Amino acid sequence: MEDLEPRDTRRDTDRLWAALVMVAALAFAASPLTSDGFSGFTPGQFPIPQVDPPVQPAGYAFAIWGLIYAWLIAGAGFGLLRRDTDPGWRAMRPALLVSLAIGAGWIPVANIAPVYATVLIWAMLLAAVVALLRAGTGDRAWLRTPVALYAGWLTAASCVALGLVLAGHGVLGPQVAALAMLALALAIALAVQGLRPDTPEYAAAVIWALVGVIVANAAPANVAVLALSGVGIALLAWQAWRGATRQ
């Protein structure tokens, strides 16, 4: 009996974490519906209005959120029903819960305070990356893929937000801010993909954002931003392909 009680306690704890992640995923996905929604920072939210900032992807790119919301919910549901006590899921749940819980309240903050929203989205990113790195190697479609897509898009989104804040407050010009933040996003992405070579979905989400930046800067052509984005896509695609072929 003494040996069973600790195992029972751990089982209950695992189920609680799994349930909390499920609730957080649902709250996160519902946040656009329970708030005024968010379609990007508006120019008037900054002391220096940001009109067509070069750091920001084309609007269509943000549609990836629909896929991320749905897959996070599906993954959380699978984890709750089928992998509630699995060690490969257990390790990543606290970090994912933190990220999703912050995300559930992010939109109202973003609509009134871009600086605070930027701090929060970087916290979301950090927790999401920790969750990805701690995730087990099994259940790729249900565990690693949704977390990787989420962390990858947050990598781009957090750098975009910081670029807008820096340019919007006159710390950097819009062009310099765009180049600096694209370089930062690429550095983070290459590092994370290198640590998790078995999950190229992370790189795919960042590449999706970079393609959106290219579309937004194609006419008139912003050569520097286009070149850096193109190099970033090539490097991430090569790293993801190399990692996938070695598994």
Beta strands in 15-120 (DSSP E): none
Question: What pLDDT, on the 0 to 100 scale, is given for residue 36?
Answer: 78
| Residues 106 and 138 sit within 8 Å (Cβ to Cβ) | no
HSE-up (13 A, CA, CB side) for residue 47: 9
Question: What pLDDT, on the 0 to 100 scale, is given for residue 146?
Answer: 98
Q: Domain residues for 24?
A: 4-32+67-245
Any domain includes 80: yes
The CA distance from 125 to 243, in Å, is 22
Residue 49 is given by DSSP the state: -
The CA distance from 113 to 128, in Å, is 22
Question: What pLDDT, on the 0 to 100 scale, is given for residue 108?
Answer: 92
Query: Does residue 5 carry a pLDDT above 90?
Result: no
Any domain includes 170: yes
Going by C-beta distance under 8 Å and a sequence separation of 6 or more, which residues neighbour residue 16?
none
The CA distance from 132 to 60, in Å, is 26
The per-residue pLDDT of the chain, averaged, comes to: 94
| Residues 53 and 181 sit within 8 Å (Cβ to Cβ) | no
* CA angle centred on 194, ends 235 and 55, rounded to 5°: 50
Query: Does residue 6 carry a pLDDT above 70?
Result: no
Question: What pLDDT, on the 0 to 100 scale, is given for residue 2?
Answer: 47
Query: Does residue 129 carry a pLDDT above 90?
Result: yes
Any domain includes 38: no
Whole-structure pTM value: 0.94
Any domain includes 22: yes
pLDDT band at residue 39 using 50, 70 and 90 as cut-offs:
confident
CA distances from 227 to 211, 215, 232, 240 (A): 11, 12, 9, 20
Query: Does residue 61 carry a pLDDT above 80?
Result: yes
Lowest mean pLDDT among 33-42, 112-121, 175-184, 195-204: 33-42
The CA distance from 163 to 118, in Å, is 10
Query: Does residue 75 carry a pLDDT above 80?
Result: yes
Question: What pLDDT, on the 0 to 100 scale, is given for residue 40?
Answer: 78
Question: What pLDDT, on the 0 to 100 scale, is given for residue 41?
Answer: 87
Any domain includes 212: yes
More confident residue, 241 or 40: 241
Any domain includes 51: no
The domain total for the chain is 1
Any domain includes 218: yes
pLDDT band at residue 105 using 50, 70 and 90 as cut-offs:
very high
pLDDT tens readout for residues 161-202: 999 999 999 999 999 999 999 999 999 999 999 999 999 999
Q: How many residues does the chain have?
A: 247
Mean pLDDT calculated for residue range 203-210: 98
CA 185 centroid distance within chain: 11
Residue 140 is given by DSSP the state: I
Mean pLDDT calculated for residue range 147-153: 98
Q: Helix 174-195 crosses helix 223-245 at what angle (to 10 degrees)?
A: 0
Question: What pLDDT, on the 0 to 100 scale, is given for residue 124?
Answer: 98
| Residues 48 and 124 sit within 8 Å (Cβ to Cβ) | no
Any domain includes 191: yes
Question: What pLDDT, on the 0 to 100 scale, is given for residue 34?
Answer: 85
